[in-house]
């Protein structure tokens, strides 16, 4: 089992280039199941979650050629309709194969998913969307079994009772091959949804309204060859901005999309961070201690739950008392005991966290509990006195490409090791 060790207290300096978006690449990889034409995909990040999705879609019939971060995906024939437990349990996004398989083949058998232990995150909205398109849904031995009638899926109106990114993605992919028109109401607005729709449109899909709450899709029969570049990762961008802020460092972060992180930048300005926007980069200026903050996580374009742990770490060393309300997942404060172990002063009451600022982190051995929790411990370790050893970093490798290398090139004293060596 690997760990990361950081000797804290180093100022950072230099440039960081962002990787492709994990949350965008995963559904786009799944959508390769829809088409028998080649999909040339670039800027795919090298992550454990991506490897898990690649293994899954290969088992279903996708032929894959790879060079660096570029892929050629082609699915001449679906070889299996079953996404089995051993592949799906590693990553919740595997459930995104449901819509494409059902739409193309009329049948899918998908294991109920696994992933980070940050809440129940049920799949009921995914199944609701498939039913609205005419699928019959059954359950057997931990699997969802979805079937369409002989004529295939049929377009319909899908009114989501609450916003769900994954259910929106599954509904879009299924509707692309459904007969007639589908209208999705209360769709998720995330940039990753827009990127998926842009890729599908380049494949020949007829989609209107991506990035709004109403998405209209006209079903098609034939796909085109396509080239598509995955957007850069907005969560990674914000994580490195926080790394600069927490270490009082100057950093240039490249290949950034300002529109995708507008709410986050507003909050950083409110806390007192100074930065400059330069073409497709952001320059974080060396600054002083920031002010406290009060936020509530919300669906995009609100403050993302995927940045809650990182901002909490920054709040620990900011002036005054900060308040964070987690409104998306019910179990996403598992990083709090580990941050407190490093010297933080955080109290949790239900889905609210009260962070007493002006703390001083002191290095210790800690354990990552999920993807974003793991990077919050990296951030704390960067400024901790002494050495911090972070265990179970496979969580980190699910969502951050070469984060230890990127930080070390900017001056962080960070290294990987293996237990038993």
* Catalytic residue ranges: 116
Q: How buried is residue 68: exposed, middle or buried, by Cβ count under 10 Å (0-12/13-18/19+)?
A: exposed
- In whole angstroms, what is the distance from residue 26 CA to residue 48 CA? 11
Q: How buried is residue 140: exposed, middle or buried, by Cβ count under 10 Å (0-12/13-18/19+)?
A: exposed
Instruction: Note whether 103 and 174 are within 8 A (CB).
Output: yes
Q: How buried is residue 222: exposed, middle or buried, by Cβ count under 10 Å (0-12/13-18/19+)?
A: exposed
Instruction: Note whether 52 and 91 are within 8 A (CB).
Output: yes
Q: What is the DSSP letter of 330?
A: T
- In whole angstroms, what is the distance from residue 157 CA to residue 69 CA? 37
Contacts of 17 (CB under 8 A, 6+ apart): 254, 255, 406
3-class DSSP state for residue 139?
strand
Edge to edge, the sheet with strand 275-278 lists 13-17, 250-254, 281-284, 275-278
Task: Provide the 10 A C-beta neighbour count for residue 412.
Answer: 23
From its phi and psi, is residue 73 left (phi > 0), alpha (psi between -120 and 50) or beta?
A: beta
Instruction: Note whether 347 and 354 are within 8 A (CB).
Output: yes
Instruction: Note whether 406 and 18 are within 8 A (CB).
Output: no
Task: Provide the 10 A C-beta neighbour count for residue 114.
Answer: 15
The DSSP bridge pattern shows strands 39-42 and 63-67 to be unpaired
Q: How buried is residue 51: exposed, middle or buried, by Cβ count under 10 Å (0-12/13-18/19+)?
A: middle
C-alpha closest to that of 12 among 236, 251, 197, 195: 251
Residues in the chain: 421
Edge to edge, the sheet with strand 82-83 lists 82-83, 107-111, 143-147, 136-140
C-alpha closest to that of 217 among 235, 204, 233: 204
Place of tokens 């770490």: 313
């Amino acid at each position: 089992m690997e760990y990361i060790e950081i000797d804290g207290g180093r100022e950072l300096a230099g440039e960081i280039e962002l990787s492709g978006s994990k949350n965008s690449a995963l559904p786009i990889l799944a959508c390769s199941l829809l088409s028998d034409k080649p999909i040339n995909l670039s800027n795919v990040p090298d992550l454990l979650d991506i490897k898990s999705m690649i293994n899954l879609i290969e088992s279903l019939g996708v032929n894959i050629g790879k060079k660096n971060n570029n892929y050629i995906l082609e699915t001449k024939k679906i070889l299996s309709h079953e996404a089995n437990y051993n592949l799906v349990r590693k990553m919740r996004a595997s459930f995104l194969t449901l819509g494409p398989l059902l739409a193309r083949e009329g049948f899918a058998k998908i294991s109920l998913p696994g992933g980070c232990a940050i809440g129940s995150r049920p799949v009921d909205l995914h199944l609701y969307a498939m039913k609205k398109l005419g699928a019959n849904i059954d359950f057997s031995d931990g699997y969802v079994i979805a079937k369409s009638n002989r004529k295939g899926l049929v377009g319909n109106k899908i009114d989501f009772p609450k916003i769900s990114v994954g259910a929106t993605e599954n509904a879009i992919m299924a509707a692309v091959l459904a007969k007639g028109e589908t209208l999705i109401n209360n769709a998720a607005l995330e940039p990753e949804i827009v990127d998926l729709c842009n890729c599908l449109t380049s494949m020949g899909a007829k989609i209107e309204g991506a990035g709004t709450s109403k998405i209209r899709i006209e079903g098609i029969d034939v796909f085109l060859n396509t080239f598509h570049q995955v957007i850069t990762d907005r969560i990674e961008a914000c994580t490195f901005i926080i790394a600069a802020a927490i270490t009082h460092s100057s950093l240039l972060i490249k290949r950034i999309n300002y529109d995708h992180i507008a709410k986050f930048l507003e909050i950083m300005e409110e806390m007192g961070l100074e930065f400059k926007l330069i073409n497709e980069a952001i320059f974080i200026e060396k600054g002083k201690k920031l002010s406290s903050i009060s936020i509530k996580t919300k669906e995009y374009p609100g403050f993302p739950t995927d940045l809650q742990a990182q901002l909490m770490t920054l709040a620990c060393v900011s002036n005054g008392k900060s308040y964070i309300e987690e409104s998306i997942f019910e179990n996403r404060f598992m990083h709090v005991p580990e941050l407190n172990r490093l010297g933080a002063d955080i109290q949790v009451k239900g889905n609210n966290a009260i962070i007493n600022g002006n703390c001083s982190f002191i290095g210790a051995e800690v354990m990552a509990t999920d993807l974003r929790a793991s990077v919050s411990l990296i951030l704390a370790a960067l400024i901790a006195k002494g050495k911090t050893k972070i265990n179970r970093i496979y969580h980190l490798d699910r969502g951050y490409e070469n984060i230890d290398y990127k930080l070390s090139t900017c001056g962080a004293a960070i290294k990987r090791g293996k237990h038993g060596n």
